[in-house]
């Protein structure tokens, strides 16, 4: 049965079928309708609460309402992406109508060269919209956004510059791996070979410089623009320069898995596994990480459910690329375990009236903001993980019915 489950995921990711066995935990499936109802109610609540689509929900305030941001905030693409995922999950036309409205509000971002995050902003919104509708106007926006992102690449450094912040010369954050999906996809869908080459080079440089020998990652590397040498390895959102910020590690896991999907470069798969192994070896018993794996007051530190959601989604893809059966099984079970945990209290609260889906995430603890809140990107990757899980089980059910 497991073999069939993974075959479904592999079709989705365009890979070959591995040899696997044993059946997975089915408890998510038995609660599927209840979970979908909770998601539907919360997303409809967000649509009502954020009726001004010039501003986008980012994180919840202490009273539980959404704090909203303008379209240039790095998080603007996630709510449109959630609406596309809800349309995919439920088939409800109203979600598609809202998804179109919220996605199209981001059209000017295709020209926005002020941050590497144009990848998140445009690919989560227009990328999902194009995947589900094949609307050619969406594809044009994606291709232009990829051209814009490519302008931030510096061949001497071998990376895309993350932020324009005078505190650093040429900062590159581990999160930047996620923005490569826009370039990889565009290069294979009407874009240029240069886009592919830039994405590969960025991943290679990150693989070389962002990892410690134990598989944990630094958050920010500052490069010298002129020579390309590393000036410093520091943190911005983690506990300390030498600690491992949980969401950064999840971005690494997911980002290198995605890079392997497009390139089939075994070095990227190896790097994704290194990131995953560190992440899994440092989880608490409920499988949801503390906000930093080295935070000083564990177990009295806040969890970061968003890091769990990113990692769960990445693991459900990663397991499909692994030939070694025990390792494949470990990644698959770990992805399901995180998802199971997130799908129950205290992370998913059925009776809660707040519109955020996952409770207990941390945006930027050292910055004093968004501690123990709902984050829109946590919700986005949580729903993506559920969809990945459903594709596996739907494929399994279809095979068993034959
Ligand atoms: N990419 C910014 C963050 O993960 O908080």
**Mean pLDDT (whole number) for 139-143:** 98
Q: Residue 3 — very low, low, confident or very high, per pLDDT cuts 50/70/90? A: very low
Q: Residue 327 — very low, low, confident or very high, per pLDDT cuts 50/70/90? A: very high
Contact 371, 302 (CB under 8 A): yes
Cα(245) to ligand 1 centroid in Å equals 10
pLDDT at 399: 60
Q: Which of 261-265, 353-357, 363-367 has the lowest mean pLDDT?
A: 353-357
Ligand 1 pocket test: which of 235, 237, 253 has the largest number of ligand atoms within 8 Å of its C-beta?
237
pLDDT at 124: 98
State the number of CA atoms in the 13 A half-sphere of 112 facing the CB.
23
Q: Which three-class secondary structure state does DSSP give residue 87?
A: helix
Cα(25) to ligand 1 centroid in Å equals 31
pLDDT at 396: 58
The structure's pTM equals 0.93
Instruction: Take atom 5 of ligand 1 and give the residue whose Cα is closest.
Output: 363
Is pLDDT at 12 greater than 50 in this prediction?
no
Backbone angles phi and psi of 387, in degrees to 5: -65, -40
pLDDT at 148: 98
Q: Which of 16-25, 38-47, 58-67, 89-98 has the lowest mean pLDDT?
A: 16-25
**Mean pLDDT (whole number) for 268-287:** 98
Q: What is the pLDDT of residues 219-266, one digit of tens each?
A: 999 999 999 999 999 999 999 999 999 999 999 999 999 999 999 999
pLDDT at 402: 60
pLDDT at 5: 45
Nearest atom of ligand 1 to the alpha carbon of 117: 1
Cα(148) to ligand 1 centroid in Å equals 20
Contact 270, 259 (CB under 8 A): no
Give pairs for 280-287: CB < 8 Å, separation 24+: 280/330, 280/331, 280/334, 282/244, 283/338, 286/341, 287/334, 287/337, 287/338, 287/340, 287/341
Tokens of 122: 């445009």
pLDDT at 367: 95
Q: What is the pLDDT of residues 157-209, one digit of tens each?
A: 999 999 999 999 999 999 999 999 999 999 999 999 999 999 999 999 999 99
Is pLDDT at 381 greater than 90 in this prediction?
yes
Q: Which of 24-28, 72-76, 109-113, 280-284 has the lowest mean pLDDT?
A: 24-28
Q: Which of 14-28, 53-67, 236-250, 316-330 has the lowest mean pLDDT?
A: 14-28
Is pLDDT at 1 greater than 70 in this prediction?
no
Average model confidence (pLDDT) across the chain:
92
Cα(21) to ligand 1 centroid in Å equals 36
pLDDT at 168: 98
pLDDT at 64: 87
Is pLDDT at 18 greater than 60 in this prediction?
no
Residue 224 designated active-site: no
**Mean pLDDT (whole number) for 213-218:** 98
Is pLDDT at 290 greater than 70 in this prediction?
yes
d(CA 13, CA 179): 18
Q: What domains appear along the chain, each with residue ranges and CATH number?
A: 2-401 (1.50.10.10)
d(CA 378, CA 382): 6
pLDDT at 401: 66
Angle at the Cα of 371 from the Cα atoms of 367 and 375, rounded to 5 degrees? 105
Contact 298, 314 (CB under 8 A): no
Residues flanking ligand 1, CB < 6 Å: 74, 175, 237, 247, 363
pLDDT at 392: 74
pLDDT at 27: 81
Q: Residue 54 — very low, low, confident or very high, per pLDDT cuts 50/70/90? A: confident
* CA distances to 95, 219, 377 from 247, in Å: 28, 9, 11
Q: Residue 397 — very low, low, confident or very high, per pLDDT cuts 50/70/90? A: low
């Amino acid at each position: 049965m497991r073999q069939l489950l993974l075959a479904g995921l592999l079709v989705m990711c365009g890979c070959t079928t591995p040899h696997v066995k044993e059946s997975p935990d089915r408890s998510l499936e038995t609660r599927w309708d209840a979970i979908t109802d909770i998601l539907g109610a919360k997303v409809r609540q967000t649509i009502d609460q954020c009726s001004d689509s010039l501003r986008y929900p980012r994180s919840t305030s202490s009273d539980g309402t959404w704090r909203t941001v303008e379209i240039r905030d790095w998080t603007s693409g996630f709510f449109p992406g959630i609406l596309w995922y809800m349309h995919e999950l439920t088939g409800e036309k109203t979600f598609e109508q809202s998804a179109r409205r919220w996605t199209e509000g981001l059209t000017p971002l295709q020209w926005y060269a002020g941050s590497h995050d144009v990848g998140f902003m445009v690919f989560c919104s227009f990328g999902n919209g194009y995947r589900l509708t094949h609307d050619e106007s969406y594809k044009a926006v994606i291709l232009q956004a990829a051209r814009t992102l490519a302008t931030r690449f510096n061949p001497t450094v071998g990376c895309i510059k993350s932020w324009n912040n005078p505190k650093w010369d040429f900062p590159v954050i581990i999160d930047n791996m996620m923005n490569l999906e826009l370039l990889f996809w565009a290069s294979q869908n009407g874009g240029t070979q240069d886009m592919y080459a830039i994405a590969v080079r960025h991943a290679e440089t990150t693989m070389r410089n962002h990892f410690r020998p134990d598989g944990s990652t630094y958050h920010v590397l500052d490069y010298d623009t002129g020579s390309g040498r590393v000036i410093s390895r520091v943190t911005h959102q983690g506990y300390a320069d030498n600690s491992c910020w949980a969401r950064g590690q999840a971005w690494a896991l997911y980002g290198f898995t995605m890079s392997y999907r497009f390139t089939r470069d075994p070095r990227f798969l190896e790097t994704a596994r290194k990131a995953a192994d560190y992440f899994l070896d440092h989880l608490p018993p409920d499988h949801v990480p503390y906000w930093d794996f080295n935070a000083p007051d564990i177990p009295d530190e806040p969890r970061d459910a968003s890091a769990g959601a990113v990692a769960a989604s990445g693991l459900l893809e990663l397991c499909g690329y692994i030939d070694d059966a025990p390792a494949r099984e470990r990644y698959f079970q770990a992805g399901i375990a995180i998802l199971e945990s997130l799908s129950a209290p205290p992370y998913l609260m059925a009776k809660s009236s707040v519109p955020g889906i996952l409770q207990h995430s941390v945006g930027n603890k050292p910055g004093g903001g968004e501690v123990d809140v709902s984050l829109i990107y946590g919700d986005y990757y949580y729903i993506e993980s559920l969809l990945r899980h459903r594709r596996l089980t739907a494929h399994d059910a279809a095979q068993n019915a034959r």
